[in-house]
Amino acid sequence: MPLYILNRPDCSYDELREVVVRAKDEKEARLLASAYKGDEGTEVWLDEKQSTCEKLQVRGKSGVVCADFYEA
C-alpha cells in the first residue's frame, strides 16, 4: 500500500500543516488526514483546493506515518 504526503500552505497555531499516511488511494489518504486534524477542521484535508495530496511509492499497511503539527 502506498504512502501519501498531504500538505496545506496556509497554517496557523494548533493546526496540522503536513501529514504522511499509508492508504489504498487518495480518498482514503484524505480521510485519514482529516481524522488527525487540528483547529483547521476536517474539510481542509478533504478539499483538493485547500490541500495537496501526493502519492509516494512505498509499501505497507494503512495508517498515519508522520505528521507536522504547528502548535503554540
At position 3, the amino acid (one-letter code) is: L
Write down the pLDDT at residue 70. Answer: 73
CA max distance for the chain? 34
For 9-31, write each residue's pLDDT tens digit.
888 888 888 999 999 999 999 99
Of residues 59 and 26, the one with the higher pLDDT is: 26
The whole-angstrom separation of Cα 59 and Cα 2 is: 5
- pTM, rounded to two decimals: 0.80
Domain count, the chain: 1
Segments forming the whole domain that contains residue 15: 3-70
Angle of CA points 70, 45, 54, to nearest 5°: 95
The phi, psi pair for 19, rounded to 5°, reads -150, 145
Q: Would you state the cell numbers that stand for residue 17, as one nine-digit string?
A: 500543516
